[in-house]
Structure 1
């Protein structure tokens, strides 16, 4: 399984590199045709299918071009024979946003499955913690 975890780590790092480079074919390269993504911005029901997933990226690339960051800070992977999941924390924001709220992290969860002998991303979930929520008294 260590080889699978290393392969998935490379896949995720290449995906993040493609995002930072605004390389849409690179972003799409290791995703399934039936990808489901739940993202921070709408649509709240998620992007379903590779065409819908593809359509979400140009506005994000425009935002990154303003100087925003998308940097993996930590990445954990668990791989089985045919399915795997990964979760990560990322520094994602403009320099001003990151300076104002340095503790903020984008949370990323990926579900992967092996297709034709290679790992492919079938599910993505991106979220930020709700900083307006009040924790209950313990």
Structure 2
């Protein structure tokens, strides 16, 4: 789930759990052991009850809190610590509330786990998902995302750098994990003189596989470096490549192409969401 999806999740939490609160006369209060089992090593997604600030927080088993907060205008990463005292979770952030700890009672409301302050008032509407799907631990540990982004781009190049191997439906299926699922992928390809606008990887594969049947060989080679412009969960990459192929009638074709690939960070890695190819001068 990306930034946009957790905003949607937070918006839903503002309505559905509130209804659940009004319907549930006695929410189940969690004891300390149950809180620990629920939160340790998992990620909470939620929003504050009194202000428009949504968040995802990885609750690391080693006692760290790694949060990504979003107030609608910008995101930021915050670090802190957590512990269980009695039947309450205590959280303490480096740069929030001047580092003062907060203790929360957790109550099960429907399928969600809400946090109540020491005054007994609802503080946070939230739920938990398994593990660290947003890679927050890697961000906190200072892992540089560009190598993974470049590796994803190189795999895209490998898809088209087939040589005498056929670029057919089976080959496209082998590379499907590179691309955003469903209609989350858009390609605008303009390197043959005809602009193709393709929505979704299945349409992309179904369009290009028959075209490539006219070739007995097709290869591409990157020219120069891959430029990466990274902003949060989105990366825009730019590069050039030379393509060369042999048609079934024996004719040789080739040329230079500008490529722009836009990638988005998903729970399990970077996925290509947009491709734009256009002819380039030699």
Q: Same fold judged by TM-score > 0.5?
A: yes
State yes or no: 1:31 paired with 2:179.
yes
Which structure 2 residues correspond to residues 119-130 of structure 1 after superposition, within 5 A?
A: 119-129=270-280
Shift of 1:20: 2.5
Shift of 1:79: 1.8
Which structure 2 residues correspond to residues 1-138 of structure 1 after superposition, within 5 A?
A: 3-21=144-162, 22=167, 23-33=171-181, 34-40=184-190, 41=192, 44=195, 46-63=197-214, 65-74=215-224, 75-94=226-245, 96-98=252-254, 104-129=255-280
Structure 1 moving runs of 4+ over 6 Å = none
Unaligned stretches of 5+ residues in structure 2: 1-141, 247-251
User: CA–CA distance in 1 between the matches of 2:189 and 2:151?
Assistant: 22
Deviations 1:47-91 (A, max 9, x none): 01122122133135435x433321112321122221011011001
User: CA–CA distance in 2 between the matches of 1:24 and 1:62?
Assistant: 13
Q: What CA RMSD, in Å, does the superposition of the two structures yield over aligned residues? A: 2.7
- The TM-score, its normalising length taken from structure 2, stands at 0.39
Q: Which has the higher strand share?
A: 2
SS of the equivalent of 1:3 reads: coil
Higher relative contact order (CA 8 A, sep 6+): 1
User: CA–CA distance in 1 between the matches of 2:174 and 2:160?
Assistant: 8
User: Could you say which structure has the larger radius of gyration?
Assistant: 2
Q: Number of paired residues? A: 125
Q: Which has the higher helix share?
A: 1
Unaligned stretches of 5+ residues in structure 1: 99-103, 132-138
User: CA–CA distance in 2 between the matches of 1:93 and 1:111?
Assistant: 24
On the 8 A contact 1:8/1:119 being kept in 2, the answer is yes
